[in-house]
Amino acid sequence: MDGRPRARVAVSDGRQVVATDRDGRYTLVTASDRAWLSLTLPAGARIPVTATGTSALHRPLSPDARGEMTADFALAAAPTDDAVHGLVLLADTQTQNAFEMGRLHAETVPDVRATAATLGAGQVFGIACGDIMFDDLSLYPEYERAVAAMGVPFFQVTGNHDLDYASRTAEGATATFERHFGPAHYSFNVGAVHYIVLQDVLWYGDGYVGYLPAEQLEWVAADLALVEPGRPVVVALHIPLASTQPARTGDREGRHGSLVNNREALYRLLEGYRAHVLSGHTHENEHIFAGGVHEQVVGTACGAWWSGDICWDGTPNGYAVLEAQGESLRWRYQATGQPATHQLRLYAPGADPTAPGDFVANVWDWTPDWTVTWSEDGQRRGLMSRRTGKDPRAVAEQTGADKPARRGWVEPMTTTHLFYATPTPGTRTLTVEARDPFGRTYAETLTLA
């Protein structure tokens, strides 16, 4: 790094993992079915990027006539201590045409750029967590143009809408993605955090399931063998390891494509690490605690497929923001076009016909260690009651075959982050305060007629 050799840096062909020696040298015996050589970025290094800002930690495997090749990775030191760093995660940008790409460039891009500028002097980077496209892979260059405009390095995850559907094999389905962005699974370090990107969409020629192939799991085991136990490990993948959506909707068959069916195998590999998983795919915001892992299923940049400004659970179009300080992580949801304090939305009594006497708060980034309290006319009343229901704005904008106008098939989704309370008749103002796990308090006030 900066012209000096670096020992114990991992290099991989996606199956095997080797480490550099004290002179920065390595030898890897690979096979003809391997397409990429990737470097696991060591802590303290600047993230190398392409001309458009996407990560450049890989080389195509192209041996000479003797079956050999040399691949050197010249790294520069990060300009500041990367123990403090920031991550912006975009789930499902999912652009299908010029209109949607225009919204991405006009709305999401400047918002991410502004958010990144608030994350301090440490290294800041992004992850596009799959479904970068909506089937039209010819639009990848427009996404790359968006990355360049956001001004921070971006890593890419494969989603089900990023696949070559004409492929008859799982291996061939990521060919176009790989031509643009390199291998579909890889790892890197920033500060004290080890990051792993996985490809969990298994294409079988006529559809897909959420699944991690044995080869990829074996690679994870080899990758983690070089990571000290107890360190924070952040895993980014598209289809959630776990989701309550199938249970909430009663769609038992849908679970095959809405969660990773062999997630227990990954949970076992992550034992002994402080694992935090980031996923997308479901177009709603949800936190899952399973298998000893905290998983953020992140609301989408495109919301309900660019049909409006919200996901189908009422979460605003937006993205996740994570901040690392040493081995500590904190997170929040960032609504596009809104201040960082915009973390809840209130509805007057009667907005939910299933509870006509109650007012409703949607606290989309809720986890069990949030506290949601309410006041009426300045008098504190205590905790609100959490229930499963449908966000009233989503119901108004997305119910029926003619709504929303651009995606008539979108319907409001039941969610578990709605809170209810019954105000006293004659109340003029209602205030909700929501305190997150990191001590940040957000408040909204509703004035009644």
pLDDT digits (tens, 9 = 90+) for 17-63: 999 999 999 999 998 889 999 999 999 999 999 999 999 999 999 88
pLDDT at 2: 66
Instruction: Give the bridge partners for 318, in sequence order.
Output: 335
Mean pLDDT value across residues 89-113 = 99
Rounded percentage of the chain residues whose pLDDT exceeds 70: 99
Q: What is the mean pLDDT of the chain?
A: 96
Mean pLDDT value across residues 395-407 = 96
Give the pLDDT confidence of 376-387 residue by residue, as tens digits: 999 999 999 999
Residue 418, token pair as written in the block: 């709605």
Residue 449 is classified by DSSP as -
Mean pLDDT value across residues 93-115 = 98
pLDDT above 70 (res 113):
yes
Look at strands 201-203 and 154-157 and give their pairing: unpaired
Residues 289 and 267: beta-carbon distance below 8 Å: no
Q: Residues with Cβ < 8 Å from 175, sequence gap 6 or more?
A: 164, 167
| Fold adopted by 84-335 | Purple Acid Phosphatase; chain A, domain 2 (3.60.21)
Q: CA 71 → CA 39, 74, 232, distances in Å?
A: 10, 10, 29
Rounded percentage of the chain residues whose pLDDT exceeds 90: 91
Sign of the Cα torsion 272, 276, 277, 283 reads positive
Look at strands 58-60 and 17-19 and give their pairing: unpaired
Mean pLDDT value across residues 310-314 = 99
Sign of the Cα torsion 273, 276, 281, 286 reads positive
DSSP per residue, 383-423: EPEEEEEE-HHHHHHH-STT-SSS-TT--PPEEEEEEEE-P
Q: Which of 303, 320, 275 is nearest to 404 (CA)?
A: 303
Label residues 347-382 b or e (16+ Cβ within 10 Å = b).
bbbebbeebeebbbbbbbbbbeebebbbbbeeeebe
Q: Which of 168, 204, 164 is nearest to 184 (CA)?
A: 164
How far apart are the C-alpha atoms of 329 and 323, rounded to whole Å?
6
How far apart are the C-alpha atoms of 435 and 438, rounded to whole Å?
8
Q: What's the Rg (C-alpha) of the chain?
A: 23
pTM over 0.85: yes
- Highest-confidence segment of 3-7, 121-125, 184-188: 184-188
How far apart are the C-alpha atoms of 257 and 203, rounded to whole Å?
10
Q: CA 205 → CA 184, 209, 300, distances in Å?
A: 18, 11, 27
| Fold adopted by 345-447 | Immunoglobulin-like (2.60.40)
pLDDT at 1: 67
Give the pLDDT confidence of 193-249 residue by residue, as tens digits: 999 999 999 999 989 999 999 999 999 999 999 999 999 999 999 999 999 988 888
Q: Do you know the residue count of the chain?
A: 449
Hey, where are the domains in the chain? 84-335, 345-447
Task: Dump strand ranges (E) for 158-306.
Answer: 186-190, 193-197, 201-203, 208-210, 232-236, 274-279, 286-290, 293-297
Residues 361 and 418: beta-carbon distance below 8 Å: yes
* Strands, sheet with 123-129, edge to edge from the N-terminal-most edge strand: 154-157, 123-129, 84-90, 318-325, 328-335
Residue 299 is classified by DSSP as P
CA torsion angle 237 241 245 246 (round to 10) = 120
Q: Residues with Cβ < 8 Å from 81, sequence gap 6 or more?
A: 44, 122, 191
